[in-house]
Amino acid sequence: MPNFQVVTFGCKVNQYESAGMSEVLADFGFTPCPSPGPPDLVLVNTCTVTARADQQVRQAIRRIARQYPEARLWVTGCYAQRSPQTLASLPGVVKVFGNREKAALPEMLAAPKESLGPQVQVQGFRPGELFQACPVRRFPGHTRAWLKVQDGCSHSCSYCIVPSVRGPGRSLP
């Protein structure tokens, strides 16, 4: 039975989505990787709020590729949305998908294994796009559960990257 590890950077939204993606992986027969064992799949959910966050993500991906050379390394999240080719060029990365594509994780898992070279699936957000619900039943390692009720932002502050990597503001009905 294949096992997995999820590495999460950034905000509570990323932590929530990582919990949801962990549940999807479990539904597809993956088991959480025991600490000493090597994972078959490592899913890195990234942040890009600062240059330091980007650097930490790149360092972690390189470390994971060295530590688990046989693992499939998939990268998603805000940094993947902003700069997918940068992440696809890192060692060990076989798939990069954006925030919008997280909802398609079941289809990605059902598809045949990756071919040569990293696959990049990143689409931009459209105005009027609906909120993508991601029900989460458990929060391993947390004493409190969160509920994602909003994603993105419709304000275009000059210093903020959120509208470009999370899309326009949309809320749970």
Residue 12 belongs to domain with CATH number: 3.40.50.12160
In a domain, 27, yes or no: yes
Q: What is the four-CA torsion angle of 66, 60, 122, 23, rounded to 10 degrees?
A: 90
In a domain, 15, yes or no: yes
> Which residue, among 20, 130, 63, 15, has the nearest Cα to 73 in the 3D structure?
63
**pLDDT per position as a tens digit, 77-112:** 999 999 999 999 999 999 999 999 999 999 998 887
Question: Total structural domains in the chain?
Answer: 1
CA distance 109 to 132: 19
**pLDDT per position as a tens digit, 40-77:** 999 999 999 999 999 999 999 999 999 999 999 999 99
